[in-house]
Structure formats: structure tokens, C-alpha cells
Chain A
Amino acid sequence: MIQEPVIEVHGLCMAYGSTVVQRDLDFAVFPGDIFVIMGGSGCGKSTLLRHLLGLKTPAAGDVLYHGRSLMSASAAERRVMRRSWGITYQSGGLFSAMSLAENVALPLHQYTQYEAATIDDIVAYKLALVGLDGFQDYLPEEISGGMRKRAALARAIALDPEILFFDEPSAGLDPVSSRRLDDLILQIKESTGATVVMVTHELPSIFAIATNSVYLDAETRTMIDYGDPGWLRTHSEQPVVRQFLNREADVRPSGDVSGEDDRG
């Protein structure tokens, strides 16, 4: 059976002013995928995520959700689309003036008609899913960094989203906590059936959970490979990608050379 893609990116070109960050991006995310956007530092991974989320307007190209353009969607249509997304940001994005319970309850109040008692129960349940039941009254600054990441995840899944976006979910965590967070993301994804799109450059994360990926290259300013990272690791035609995935430090200077060639 051929599945309809959840997200399609067509000829996306991202730029800050006249500085092109990435151009000619074409890929699709299918239902149930764990899609990883990878690449070295500064190649525009987070920028791509911001484009997918409609926080930035592309210089060219479009992003389609279930075949519907995000760029040409009206404010009301975007609201409907955003209802089915759950997002965690690089530094959590929890509202520092609100308790964890208020953070998780905010989207529920915003988008649903549940009664207050039901919302309290759902908040307790979502926090229990990430192992934080009982921390309802804590402020984000009163808990540890790893707990903040999990709390952000609880807020992201508050509305049972169809697509979960993660920006560097395990950045700043120790390997054990990072692994636990990966497991948690995987468990939640399995039991809710959500599609996951994540930005990461942490290899354990990539191999542990990804099913599909795109590699953005900082030199040529475009995507140079696309596929299952486990497969790309040995089979990619691009040495840079193989080196990235095999964690080889000595990226040979040919990256620069090929970049020059492309421009010349």
C-alpha cells in the first residue's frame, strides 16, 4: 500500500536576508516515521524545523501537510494544522512563570472543551507518562534540566498530536538521561502512533530511533542525502554523510573543494 505522506517539502529555499541557508530541499515524511534532520553545527537544521512549523517564511518552495500548503493556509487553517502538532524546543520552551500543571493545561484550555476536573486528570496523566506525576505545582526553574525536557514533552503530547517535533531533544543531557528520553519518545510514539520529526546531531539518538532522515550539508547549502540513517551509515554515496554517521573526526577537506566546484 502506498501511504500518503504527512509532510512534503517541495523545493524549499531558506534564507536570512540575502544569505541562503539551505536551498532545493525536497523530502517527504510518512505516517509513523521517526524522521531525523541531521547535519553539522550551523547547517540550518533548526532553521528548517522553524520553516516546517511555519515560524519562518521560506524564500522559495512550500511545505505541505497532508497535501495542504502551509504557506498559503489562512490563519484559521493554520490553527487547525497546529492543533495536531506537538513541539518541544531546544531549551524546552516551558513558560517560566507557570507551574508544570499550568504549562501542560494551557493547550488543553486553548483547544478543548474538557471540564476543569478532566483537564486536571489529563495533566496528571500526561505528567505520569513522562514520570513527573506529583510535580504539578513546581515551576520550571525548580526542577532539573532533564526533568524540564520531559515536562516539555508532556506539554507537547497534551493534545494527542499526530506529529511530534523535537528540536535537539537530548541536548545538554548526560548519556543515560539522554538514552532514557530517547526511550520515552519511542514509547510514546509507539503507543500514540504519532509521526516524529526531530533535529539532532547526537548519534546515539539517531541510530536508536530514526527510521528516515535527511542530511543537510553546510558547505554546499543543500541536502546531500536522504534515507534510513542505519543504511546511509554504510551505503551513502556521500563520504561526508558516512563520516558524520561513523563519527569520524577527520572530515577530509574535499568537502570544501566540492563546495568550491559547485559554485564554480
Chain B
Amino acid sequence: MDATAPDCALRPDASGQPTLYLSGDWTEGQPTPAPSRLQDMLARIEPPGPVALDLSGIGDWDSQLPAFCLRWMNLCRSRGIDCERRRHGSSLDDLLDLATATPPREARPRSAGWLSAAAIRRNLHEIGEQVQESLAFVGDATVACATCMMPGSSMRWSDLKLYCAQAGPGALPIITLTSILVGMILAYLGAVQLKEFGAEVYVADLVGIGMLREMGALMTAVVMAGRTGAAYAAQIGTMQSNDEIDALTTLGLSPMEFLVAPRLLALALMMPLLTIYANVLGMLGGAIVAGGMGISPLAYLSELVTVLAPGHFMVGLSKSLLFAVLIAIAGCRAGMSAGRSSAGVGDATTEAVVTAVVYLIVADAGMNILFQQVGV
């Protein structure tokens, strides 16, 4: 038997009642009537009054048919027209009964464009709330860290050791690679200009000061934001979606002390050490480039020690400490406020890295201005 194309037609039945007749085979691959035709048909009913739906001409069918009927019945209802469905005597009746058992809920109003006054107001309000939340989080975290120093806190020292191992020794390979390369980049950068004056040996000064004051701390922080900050957000975010945070709270353990404090302390302990390590390797990287330019290692070293002042060293170290706190705060806050779904964890991780990097750049600029004014 050849399939006949599905069709719909509105015409009066024997008693003169407007009736929508559906016919043909409503199976996949058949061209179904465009849904827009239903609206035109409904508009043509004069005067607007009850209609009937007749399915007696139906052959084969799949889900398209009840879907089409449902659209028609919903359309009728939205115009305030009664639609009488004639029994078809098959499972189609049951399916449509079931589908119409619960009246459809009004669809959620589409949100207005992001440029509308309401949207802008809402966004500004959200930003305000976020700033408030972040400040509250910093406060909570500070209190939690302070509490951890006292006996009887929720923090487990074994956790602190574990996080230290993850954030410190675990990060050495990647820090090694990035710092040597950054040292080399600094050296190449200086070499271009210093060659003009025949003062290549001052490459050592540039690399030394550059690593100590700036690049050692900053590059380590960027790597750690991607490596550890993101991990914190994902760990805590997953715990959030798994009800673990709620479990902690109801067990009387403060999530701040139990989860945030050890991570924050671990990062604050490890980052300065990693920065010192990065500084040394950066200078080594600079020496490699300097060697390539004909500067002997001894000349490089003797030039380098002239700039190794404790002031530069302390600038870098204080930066790294601040950066560590910022990364941990960004990561943990993103995790704690993550949505309770797998998408929520992904969003939290992204947010952790993005906010951490923004914090880093802003804080670095602020510190530089401060040190400039103080004259360190």
C-alpha cells in the first residue's frame, strides 16, 4: 500500500459544525501540513464557536500526529474556542487523553533583551551582590584561617599537608618550564635594545630585576591560577552538587574552616617558595641566552649579584603572598557558589580562573604603584 500524504482540511460536517478533518499517513518522511495553516483556518471560522476534530481518515501515524492535534487543541483553547475531539477508537485516544490530562502551563515569558532598562538594572544589582558576597567571603575566610590557628578548629592538618604537596612539589615541573622560558624571553627582550649600546652584559641586570620584582611572582601566579585555583573550584563545586557541603554544615563542621582554610593556607605557604624557585630558574634561563650572546657565565653572575638587593627580593615575595591569597579566594568562592549541576561545576571553574587572573593583574598594578610611591 502506498502512503498517502498527510493533509488537514476544515469544513462543516453533516450537522454543519466546523470540523478539522485529518487524513493520510502521518509518518516520518511525509510532508506534513505547515503548522501555520492551522492559525489561518482558525481565523476563518465564522462565527467563532465550537469546532470538532475528526481523525477517521488517518492511516499510519507516529508522534507527529498527536503532536499536531495537540497544537490544534492548544490553539483553540488560546482563542477561547471549544474543541470536541471525536474518538478514533485506537491508542491515539489514550495518548491524547494523557497529553491533555494536565493543562499546559503558560510558557515562561522570554527575558527582554540585555539592553533593556530592566536587564541593566538587574545586572547592576547582580554585580553589586557579587561584590558584597566576595567581600563577605574574604572576611569569612580570614576568620576561618585565624580560627584554624587555635586548637579545636575543624581544619585537619592532614588536609593541609595534602594540599601543600599538591600545590607545591606537584607544581614544580610546570613552574620549571615556564620560569626558564620567561627568563630567556626577558634576556632576548633586553638584548635587542642593549646591543645598540654595546652593553649586552646588562642583560643580567634586566633578567635579575625582572624576575625578582615582577615576572617570577606573576608567572607563577598565572600558572597556579590555572592549575590550582581551577582545581579548587572544581573540587568544591563537585562537593556542592553532591550535597557534601550541606553534610559538613549539618555535621557542625564549618565548610570555611574545613575546605577553604587549608587550601588558602597551603597556597599561601607554597607560592612564595615556588616564586623563589622560579626566580632562580629564570636567572638561569637568562644565563643561557647571555651565553649565546658571548657573555661568559662568570661575567653574567658577577653582573647579576650587583642587582640582587633584598628590596627587590621582598617585593616579589610580598606579591606572591598576596597573589596566593587572591587565587585561593577566587577558586574557593567560585566553588562554594557553584550551581548544583555538572554545568555549574564547569562554570565555577571558568569563573575561578578568569577572576583570579583579573585579580592578579589589578593587584600587581596596585602593588607596583604602591612600591613606586614608597620607593622600594
Which single member of A118, A121, A141, A192 contacts B95 (CB below 8 Å)? A192
- Alpha-carbon distance between A246 and B364 when the two chains are bound, in angstroms: 70
Contact yes or no, A128 B107, CB < 8 A? no
Closest to A108 in B: B63
* Minimum distance in angstroms from B67 CB to a CB of chain A: 4
Interface centre among A97, A128, A187, A193 (most CB of B within 10 A): A128
Contact yes or no, A125 B344, CB < 8 A? no
Asked, given contacts A97-B343, A117-B35, whether A187 binds B94 with beta carbons under 8 Å apart, the answer is yes
Contact yes or no, B64 A138, CB < 8 A? no
Contact yes or no, B98 A188, CB < 8 A? yes
Task: Enumerate B312-358 residues with CB–CB distance to A below 8 Å.
Answer: 339-344, 346
Which single member of B63, B104, B340 contacts A141 (CB below 8 Å)? B340
Asked, given contacts A187-B98, A191-B91, whether A121 binds B64 with beta carbons under 8 Å apart, the answer is yes
Contact residues in A for B91 (Cβ distance below 8 Å): 190-193
Contact residues in B for A139 (Cβ distance below 8 Å): 341
Contact yes or no, B339 A160, CB < 8 A? no
- Alpha-carbon distance between A122 and B74 when the two chains are bound, in angstroms: 13
Contact residues in A for B95 (Cβ distance below 8 Å): 129, 191-192
Contact yes or no, B67 A129, CB < 8 A? no
* Minimum distance in angstroms from B233 CB to a CB of chain A: 17
Q: Is A238 an interface residue (CB 8 A)?
A: no
Can you show 29 pairs from A to B with CB atoms below 8 A apart? A96-B341, A96-B344, A97-B343, A113-B28, A118-B32, A118-B67, A121-B70, A124-B67, A124-B70, A124-B104, A125-B70, A125-B99, A128-B99, A133-B70, A133-B102, A133-B104, A134-B105, A135-B105, A136-B107, A139-B341, A140-B341, A141-B340, A158-B63, A160-B62, A187-B94, A190-B91, A191-B91, A191-B94, A191-B98
Contact residues in A for B2 (Cβ distance below 8 Å): none
Which single member of B28, B70, B99, B105 contacts A114 (CB below 8 Å)? B28
Contact yes or no, A134 B342, CB < 8 A? no
Could you tell me which B residues sit within 8 Å of A by CB distance? Answer: 28-29, 32, 34-35, 62-64, 66-68, 70-71, 74, 91, 94-95, 98-102, 104-108, 110, 339-344, 346
- Alpha-carbon distance between A125 and B340 when the two chains are bound, in angstroms: 29
- Alpha-carbon distance between A77 and B339 when the two chains are bound, in angstroms: 39
How many residues of chain A are within 8 Å of chain B by beta carbon? 35
Which single member of A96, A125, A131, A193 contacts B66 (CB below 8 Å)? A125
Which single member of B67, B94, B110 contacts A190 (CB below 8 Å)? B94
Closest to A101 in B: B107
Contact yes or no, B98 A129, CB < 8 A? yes
Contact residues in B for A112 (Cβ distance below 8 Å): 28
Contact residues in B for A193 (Cβ distance below 8 Å): 91
- Alpha-carbon distance between A191 and B108 when the two chains are bound, in angstroms: 30
Asked, given contacts A137-B108, A160-B62, A160-B63, whether A124 binds B102 with beta carbons under 8 Å apart, the answer is no
- Alpha-carbon distance between A235 and B319 when the two chains are bound, in angstroms: 77
Q: Is A149 an interface residue (CB 8 A)?
A: no
Contact residues in B for A160 (Cβ distance below 8 Å): 62-63
Contact residues in B for A138 (Cβ distance below 8 Å): 108
Contact yes or no, B340 A121, CB < 8 A? no
Contact yes or no, B342 A97, CB < 8 A? yes
Q: Is A201 an interface residue (CB 8 A)?
A: no
Interface centre among B71, B106, B339, B342 (most CB of A within 10 A): B71
Closest to A122 in B: B67
Contact residues in A for B341 (Cβ distance below 8 Å): 96-97, 139-141
Contact residues in A for B101 (Cβ distance below 8 Å): 131
Contact residues in B for A122 (Cβ distance below 8 Å): 63-64, 67
* Minimum distance in angstroms from B370 CB to a CB of chain A: 42
Contact yes or no, A128 B343, CB < 8 A? no
Task: Enumerate A77-112 residues with CB–CB distance to B below 8 Å.
Answer: 96-97, 112
Which single member of B34, B100, B108 contacts A128 (CB below 8 Å)? B100
Contact yes or no, B63 A125, CB < 8 A? yes
What 9 additional pairs, Cβ within 8 angstroms, besides A129-B98, A131-B102, A184-B98?
Answer: A96-B342, A117-B34, A118-B64, A121-B67, A122-B64, A122-B67, A134-B104, A134-B107, A188-B98
* Minimum distance in angstroms from A133 CB to a CB of chain B: 4
Which single member of B71, B100, B106 contacts A121 (CB below 8 Å)? B71
Which single member of A128, A137, A140, A192 contacts B102 (CB below 8 Å)? A128
Contact residues in B for A118 (Cβ distance below 8 Å): 32, 35, 64, 67
* Minimum distance in angstroms from B62 CB to a CB of chain A: 6
- Alpha-carbon distance between A128 and B63 when the two chains are bound, in angstroms: 12
Q: Is A155 an interface residue (CB 8 A)?
A: no
- Alpha-carbon distance between A126 and B66 when the two chains are bound, in angstroms: 9
Contact residues in B for A188 (Cβ distance below 8 Å): 98
Which single member of A117, A129, A134, A140 contacts B99 (CB below 8 Å)? A129
Contact residues in A for B32 (Cβ distance below 8 Å): 115, 118
* Minimum distance in angstroms from A67 CB to a CB of chain B: 25
* Minimum distance in angstroms from A17 CB to a CB of chain B: 25
Interface centre among A97, A113, A129, A158 (most CB of B within 10 A): A129
Task: Enumerate A121-163 residues with CB–CB distance to B below 8 Å.
Answer: 121-122, 124-126, 128-129, 131-141, 158, 160
* Minimum distance in angstroms from B113 CB to a CB of chain A: 16
Asked, given contacts A114-B28, A118-B64, A121-B67, whether A96 binds B98 with beta carbons under 8 Å apart, the answer is no
